[in-house]
């Protein structure tokens, strides 16, 4: 009974391949949503971990809302689209995790470091660290 029902639902539903034309769109839109949400939360002075969690929540809500919209308009709620959304959000999170600079007490900023954006921001966003002059090669 279950096999004929699953087959009938598969025939009635529009085709949904794992590597369909819209899967890359889902991947990149989710990655974009993740990074913009994280950036907005960071701009609002939310700590890194909370900003990352909030960005995941925003991305999940947007992804699921898109699938409910697709369900209303085309009749297809695609779990495969959600998998691609999760992959895009996950890759964006990994890239952000490895590109965020943090300062700690163990890694103090040298006294001769210049703050690039100190007149514009309350705390420097980028720092220039003084490096020794290069000696000419002989």
Nearest to 30 by CA among 99, 84, 78: 84
What pLDDT does residue 9 have? 46
95: left (phi over 0), alpha (psi -120 to 50) or beta: alpha
**CA 68, CA 80: separation in Å to the nearest integer?**
14
Least-confidence region, from 48-52, 64-68, 84-88, 126-130:
126-130
In this prediction the pTM is 0.62
pLDDT above 90 coverage of the chain, percent: 43
């Amino acid at each position: 009974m279950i096999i004929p029902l699953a087959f009938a639902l598969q025939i009635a539903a529009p085709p949904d391949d794992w590597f369909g034309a819209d899967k890359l769109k889902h991947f990149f839109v989710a990655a974009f949503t993740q990074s913009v949400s994280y950036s907005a939360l960071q701009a609002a002075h939310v700590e890194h971990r909370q900003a990352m969690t909030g960005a995941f929540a925003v991305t999940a809500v947007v992804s699921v809302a898109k699938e409910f919209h697709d369900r209303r308009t085309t009749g297809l709620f695609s779990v495969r689209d959600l998998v691609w959304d999760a992959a895009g959000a996950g890759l964006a999170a990994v890239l952000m995790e490895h590109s965020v600079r943090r300062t700690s007490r163990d890694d103090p900023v040298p006294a001769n470091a210049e703050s690039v954006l100190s007149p514009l921001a309350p705390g420097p966003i980028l720092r220039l660290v003084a490096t020794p002059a290069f000696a000419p090669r002989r």
